[in-house]
A and B are shown apart, each in its own frame.
Chain A
Amino acid sequence: MTGIISPIEEIAAYETLWEQDKASFKKIAEIFRKNPGSKPTDILNESQYFKNLSKIINTIQSLRSVNKYRPNLLINGTLNYPERLRDAREPVELLYYTGKLDLIYSKSVAIVGTRNPTNDGVKRTERLVKLLVENEITVVSGLAKGIDTAAHTSAIKNGGETIAVIGTPLNQVYPKENANLQDYIAKRHLLISQVPFIKYESQDYRSNRLFFPERNKTMSAITEATVIIEASDTSGTLIQARAAIQQGRKLFILNSCFENKAISWPSFYEKKGAIRVKDFDDILNNI
């Protein structure tokens, strides 16, 4: 623990931790909890992560030359690392970003919901986002199909700021049809990912799917509040609902969700402290 870090070596060591048996955000968070103040390179020795160093240097160079990004990292212990990430139950020690880092310190609200929204759901998203933009609040979402896409695009069309917290590494896109949107956000706004490059590349899509709900926890941690527009009882969006409550963040649920008798989650989360939104001003007045 010398107090000096070489960021690229920390990335290589962190990516190597991900290659350990049954690695997960939970397991890695436990490692750092047991070794407070440690960095990835304190946990592994150089011979262990050396092989990943050149891989990571290539990945970074390719992001610079192919994507025209300046990729960067946020690592616990540096002045840029946002303290609010520590409110997560399993805080991420290291995450990647490209774009305007300033936005991560701005007042922000996450807008999330189903990948298959109703027309009303999309309209409500657009109206709410417009209002948030008018109040200079950064709109955060997960770049998925449906509500997420509507949230990002409305923020941009209304001249506001947006952050995409994605479930793929910075050099991948899901879904493919959002490739232009992701690129635009990276270059004009802020793109964040906690997903390790090497691990993602080495396993198949079934295992990689597990990264998507993890990013919802981070999205909740970096924002003041989460708003759920529409979601089914089995939606991944509810991971974020649970995280928001756990992390002491405000959770807003649109009244229309309560009116849908086919689902039970809205009243469940209302009992846990979520705020029912009858008027969008309910959100502005509570953040």
Chain B
Amino acid sequence: MAVLINKIDELTEDDHYHINKGDGCFYFLEYPSGKKDEYYGNKNYSYIHNFKKSVDRKGKPEWKYKGEAIDETIDLFDQYFKRRSNISMFTLVPIPPSKIKSNRLYDDRMSQVLRGLALRNEKADFRELILTKDNMSPSHEANFRPTIQEIKDNYKVDDNLIKGCRKNIILFDDVLTSGAHFCAARAILKEKIEGCNVKGIFIARRVLPNPAYEYDEKTELPF
């Protein structure tokens, strides 16, 4: 059965600080963010976890799961665009990885997905339009959260790739958190490519647990 993609709307926009329902951001599934090892066989969690597996695991037995997660994502996107029959309308752009190409932890997983998608769809237009200037800590590891401006200042658009770019651009990333990277990438594209429309497709959106209960472990249970 074909899989539905969800729009960020009034149900979920408050979970993503920089995003609101008008931004055109879409996701396939919910990805929990809590304590590790607490996911009780949730296959969606394993899928995203494997997709994001750090490049320093390369060569280890677990590495094959990353390849499988990438293939699964190609299938997911392919199925989506085949159902929509509109891939020819868009230029497909990955939100760039946090590391530059020469870094040993450079991980172009989303480019691999879009390249795979383009191989199956001759009308697809995939471009690595945005590049990272300097290495950034992945946002989930950073002690401070960079602002949209700081992220944008660290991006550059590859001028060689602008020509022939379609007016409608979709930015791709694995997990939507606050939406800061999406906003920064969109901002730099809008500066460089006049009149472009930018939307976002994410495999998953991060779901935080409900706000901490006011009773801690030592407090007597309230019932």
Contacts and interface: CB of A to CB of B under 8 A. Distances in A.
Contacts of A107: 40-41
Name the prevailing secondary structure of the B interface residues. loop
Nearest to B4: A77
Give the one of B10, B39, B83, B211 with max A CB within 10 A: B10
Contacts of B2: 3, 37, 77
B208 interface: yes
A51 to B, nearest CB: 15
B80 A80 contact: no
B5 interface: yes
A70 B206 CA distance: 12
A101 interface: yes
Q: How large is the interface on B (under 10, 10 to 19, 20 to 34, 35 or more residues)?
A: 35 or more
A100 B34 contact: yes
A60 B223 contact: no
A69 interface: yes
24 contacts: A3-B4, A3-B84, A4-B4, A5-B6, A8-B9, A61-B10, A72-B12, A73-B11, A75-B4, A77-B3, A79-B3, A79-B44, A80-B44, A99-B210, A102-B32, A102-B39, A105-B42, A105-B44, A106-B42, A156-B221, A181-B223, A187-B209, A187-B210, A187-B212
Interface of B: 1-7, 9-12, 14-15, 26, 28-30, 32, 34, 38-45, 80, 83-84, 207-213, 215, 221-223
Q: State the 6 A-B residue pairs at the shortest beta-carbon distance, nearest first.
A: A106-B40, A79-B29, A180-B222, A181-B223, A187-B213, A77-B4
Interface of A: 2-9, 11, 37, 39, 57, 60-61, 64, 68-73, 75, 77-80, 98-103, 105-107, 138, 153, 156-157, 161, 178, 180-181, 183-184, 186-188
